[in-house]
Structure formats: C-alpha cells, structure tokens
Amino acid sequence: MLEWRSTTQSGTSFHKCQDGTVVRAGGSGRRADALTRARIVAAAVAILDEDGEAGLTFRALAARLATGPGALYHHVAGKEELLAAGTDEVVSAVLAGVPAAAEPREAVRRVALGMFDAIDVHPWVGTQLSGALAQPALLQLFESLGAPLQELGLPAGEQFAAGSTLLNHVLGAAAQNAANARRHAPGTDRGAVLGNVADLWASLDPQRYPYLRRVAQQLREHDDREQFLAGVDLVLDGVAARARSARGA
C-alpha cells in the first residue's frame, strides 16, 4: 500500500510509501531515500549467494537496490570492502549462535559446524577467509576456535599448532564440500555420484591403493557433516590427550 504523500523537488514529484521508501512518481522506480550500509551489505550477500564473486558489481548492486551506482560509494569504497563486510556478517552470525555458557569443547564444535553450514550456504565466504590473515572476520573465527584450547588445558606452546589445525580443517573441509556440491547440476543424486566413485576405488590395484580400497564403502555411506565433525573431534581428542599428559608430567 502507498501512503500517498506527494512532494515536489525541482519540478519532480515523489511519493512516500507506507514503509518509508520514497519513489519518483512515474519514474524508473529508483529509491530516493537514504541508503544504509546494512541494506547495501545485505543486498551484496544476496548477489554473492546467487552469482558468486564475479556477479557482484556495483551496477548489479545498484539495480537490486533501485538506486544509482554513485549513491553506493557514500557507504562503501568498493567491491573488496563489500566482500569483507559480507564475510564479517556471516561469521558474526555463526559466532553469535554459540551460547556464552557452552563448555570449551562444545564451543569449538559449535563454531566449527556453524562455519561448515555457513560456507555451504555462502561458498564465497570460504574463499574470502582463505585470504589475508589480518581480516577481522578471520581474526574472530581464529580466536573463537583457539581461545578454548587454553581452558581445555593444552600447554601454551602447543596452542597455535592446534588452533591452526582446527582453522585449516574448518576452512578446507567446508570449502571443499561447498565446491563439490556446486560441481554438479541441481538435482544430481549425491548417492549415485558417491557410489560411482566408491566403485572406482574398490576396483583399484590392491598393491598400489590398499587404503582407498579399504575405505571405499565408507565413502559410499558417509554423511558430510558427520565426517567433518569427526575430524574436529579427532583434533580435540588429541588436545585432551596432550592436556592429560601435561598435567601428569
């Protein structure tokens, strides 16, 4: 519905909608109200999810927001800033979903699985987090995975190695899963794809590929999220073992 309140500026008529949006009467439908950075970032995230990094241009963003490209530059300097802001928004949402009272091990598992799911929905985030080490979103993520290690009793000299291992597992496995999912056309039967690969593994030369032949059936039946979380638990089990060893030393 329109709250039909008309104004005239320099001979041009405008109408104010009930939601506060201002549009030009009889014009192209472009927004004349002030944009916000939050609205711009949200629109950028939507474009990134649909079309990837290549699809995010200021022209496409302006069209989605019904404004001119020049108006966007009052809020963001360029594409790199948009990518960083969108990544920060996704990571912050994951971290906000971890209860403050969560035990250290459970906190790490929740952060890890939350990022796995987030990168599955927003595959471009994995690419962004694999970039500069000083970007705020990566710092937040690394801190959330690494800080609980001290509470778990891991010696200080081993915390960087363990935290880095967790971070690499989260980003690597999540990005690979997202890439695998998008390598096939929509509607592709995942079970059939895995079955074909499992059959290939099972048929390999037993002298050269004994391991792949042994785990072929596990590939066929595995669940991606469960396998990912099993990897996190393997690292955390190692952390717990090292903590026990340090206490006994």
For 107-130, write each residue's pLDDT tens digit. Answer: 999 999 999 999 999 999 998 998
The mean per-residue pLDDT over the stretch 53-72 comes to 92
User: 213-247 burial string, b = 16+ CB within 10 Å, else e?
Assistant: eeebeebbeeebeeebbebbeebbeebeebbeeee
Task: Give the model confidence (pLDDT) of 78-92 as tens digits.
Answer: 899 999 999 999 999
Of residues 248 and 197, more confidently modeled: 197
Query: What residue spans define the domains of the chain?
Result: 1-33, 100-248
Query: What is the predicted pLDDT for the residue at 70?
Result: 86
What predicted TM-score, i.e. pTM, was given to this entire model?
0.80
Q: Which CATH superfamily is domain 100-248 in?
A: Tetracycline Repressor, domain 2 (1.10.357.10)
The mean per-residue pLDDT over the stretch 60-70 comes to 91
Q: How confident is the model at residue 9 (pLDDT cuts 50, 70, 90)?
A: very low
Query: What is the predicted pLDDT for the residue at 33?
Result: 54
Say whether pLDDT at 160 is over 50.
yes
